[in-house]
Structure formats: structure tokens, C-alpha cells
Amino acid sequence: MLRSVLRIKPWLKKCLARCRHCGIFFLTDPRNAGRRDLGCPFGCSRAHRQRQSTRRSVAYYQEPEGKVKKQALNARRRKTPGPPASTNPAPPELRPILQYVCVMVGLIEGRAVALWEVVVMLERTARQHRMVRTRRIDKSVAWLHGKPP
């Protein structure tokens, strides 16, 4: 799909990037064109950011200043009860993917694309795929589930 987009819109080749972790190709913002240290928006970038955060945190709490801070935090934690456990599960982490789709559609269409436009487009596409990609037998089974005899 990416190759066909680049064939039609060759000026986007400068935005082509390869994930340094998993090797997948993706389109990046023109401001990042030419960089070779990018992670893909499909999870590698976030995982790398999280690993770096953990590394910085571990390094900080091993310093004398950090050890004092951690001891104070742990002492305070023992005194105060924790927050009540949430009954709602965390929402899926779709926002990075949606933002990537925003950038990609904006690059392809050559205009600024809002997040809501992408959501509406994906909902419309999902509805269309459901109709097109289901086999006849699956449609019959779905119809029977909806209207049992």
C-alpha cells in the first residue's frame, strides 16, 4: 500500500522512514525527513520512550539525591492509603495510531487533517469492509443471528 502511494505521490519519498527497531517502513512528518533514528508509530516508538524513561528513573534513584527522594516517597506511601482501584478498564491506546493516520492522510492529501475526520473516515471504511469482505455464508449466518427463524 505504501509503495502504491509513493508511486502516485513521489514527492512523499522524502518522508519515507524505516523503524530502527522492527524495520517496518512508514511515512513520517516532513520535519523528520532523513532521520534514521525513528521508531514506528505502531508501538516501537512508545516502547523505546518507556524504556528510556525507566532507564532515567533507575539512574536517578541510584544517586544519593534520588535515594533520599525515594525513601521519602516510600515513607509517605506507607502512611497514606492508596487510591481506590478503578472499575473501568483503561481505554485502548489508539491515539498514537490515529495521529499517525492523521499525518499520513494529511501528507497524501496535501492538507491539514483533523482527528475527527480520520475517525469518521475509518468508521465509514470499517462499515464498507464489513459488507465487502464477508463471505456469502457469513452474511447468511449473521442474518440468521439477527432474525432467527
Query: Smallest gap, in angstroms, from Cβ of residue 11 to Zn ion?
Result: 24
Query: Smallest gap, in angstroms, from Cβ of residue 43 to Zn ion?
Result: 7
Q: Which of residues 72-111 bind Zn ion (CB under 5 A)?
A: none
- The number of beta carbons lying within 10 Å of the beta carbon of residue 120 is 11
- Distance separating alpha carbons of residues 50 and 138, to the nearest angstrom: 42
Residue among 49 and 130 whose Cβ is closer to Zn ion: 49
Residue among 44 and 107 whose Cβ is closer to Zn ion: 44
Q: Scanning the structure block, which residue is given the C-alpha cell 512523499?
A: 12
Among the listed residues 94, 113, 95, the one whose alpha carbon sits nearest the alpha carbon of residue 104: 113
Q: How far is CA 92 from CA 49, 66, 89, 96, in A?
A: 18, 33, 9, 11
Residue nearest to Zn ion (CB): 44
Residue among 16 and 119 whose Cβ is closer to Zn ion: 16
Residue among 24 and 122 whose Cβ is closer to Zn ion: 24
- Distance separating alpha carbons of residues 80 and 92, to the nearest angstrom: 30
Give strand ranges (E) for 7-148.
Answer: 16-18, 25-27
Residues 14-53, one symbol each (x = binds Zn ion by CB under 5 A, - = not), give: -----x-xx-----------------x---x---------
Query: Smallest gap, in angstroms, from Cβ of residue 142 to Zn ion?
Result: 35
Contact residues toward Zn ion (CB under 5 A) are: 19, 21-22, 40, 44
